[in-house]
Amino acid sequence: MLQEHARIVQFIAMAGEARGRKKLQKMIYIAKKMDFPFAEKYELHMYGPYSEELTLRVEELCEMGFLSESCTDKGSYVQYSYNVTEEGGRFIETAEAPHEKLADCIERLNGKSSRFLELVSTLLYFDYLPKDEQIAKVHIVKNKLNFTDDEMQDAFAFIAELQACSIVA
């Protein structure tokens, strides 16, 4: 079974729509850090955790006709959105059901902005460090985004909230 492909389609189906490639990248990274079984490998790029494998997989899913891609001109950039097609819906019926707690996690992530998720995912990338070093790393990696102390606090609070409802909680 193409389980790893199916997990991505299931994720987008549960989210309703994935608006923005960056947001999708960060949502799946955060879900993975909450121990949901996503296989895509992430690396730190100039702007935070990024998975080339996920980019390729989403492209494959679009070519397979399980996802549809649309793009909107936002002026300075183009935003890509993804939806599950009818065939994609039939495809995931043949796959293992996702973990029961995933829907809750996605709902929490969906309500947040791309900028906030970028901050959360980058903090999680450095979660092996003490809190002050995590913050320092985020300021180095994302020096142009100027995250405020309040945003940092909100991000740590959100991570604690997510961890409380993760698979291992």
Binding residues for other proteins (CB under 8 A): 1-2, 5, 20-22, 25, 39, 41, 43-47, 50, 52-53, 55-57, 59-60, 63-66, 77, 79, 87, 91, 94, 137, 140-141, 143
**Shortest distance in whole angstroms from residue 103 CB to other proteins:** 24
In the complex, the smallest distance separating the C-beta of residue 43 from other proteins, rounded to whole angstroms, is 7
The backbone torsions φ and ψ at residue 72, rounded to the nearest 5 degrees and listed phi first, read -120, 135
103/46 Cα distance (integer angstroms): 30
Helices 149-164 and 131-141: crossing angle, nearest 10°?
A: 120
Least Å from the CB of residue 120 to other proteins:
16
CB-facing half-sphere around the CA of 79: CA atoms within 13 A: 12
130 vs 150, beta carbon nearer other proteins = 130
For residues 53 and 151, which CB has a smaller minimum distance to other proteins in the complex? 53
Token pair in block for residue 67: 């996802």
Q: With beta carbons less than 8 A apart as the criterion, state whether 66 and 90 touch.
A: no
* 3-state secondary structure at position 91: helix
Q: Which lies closer to other proteins via its Cβ, residue 21 or residue 112?
A: 21
Minimum distance, C-beta of residue 30 to other proteins, in the bound complex (Å): 16
Would you say 78 or 103 has its CB closer to other proteins? 78
State the distance between the two ends of the chain, measured CA to CA, in whole angstroms: 29
Q: How far is the CB of 60 from other proteins (least distance, A)?
A: 5
Give SS3 for 43: strand
Judged by CB, which is closer to other proteins: 103, or 136?
136
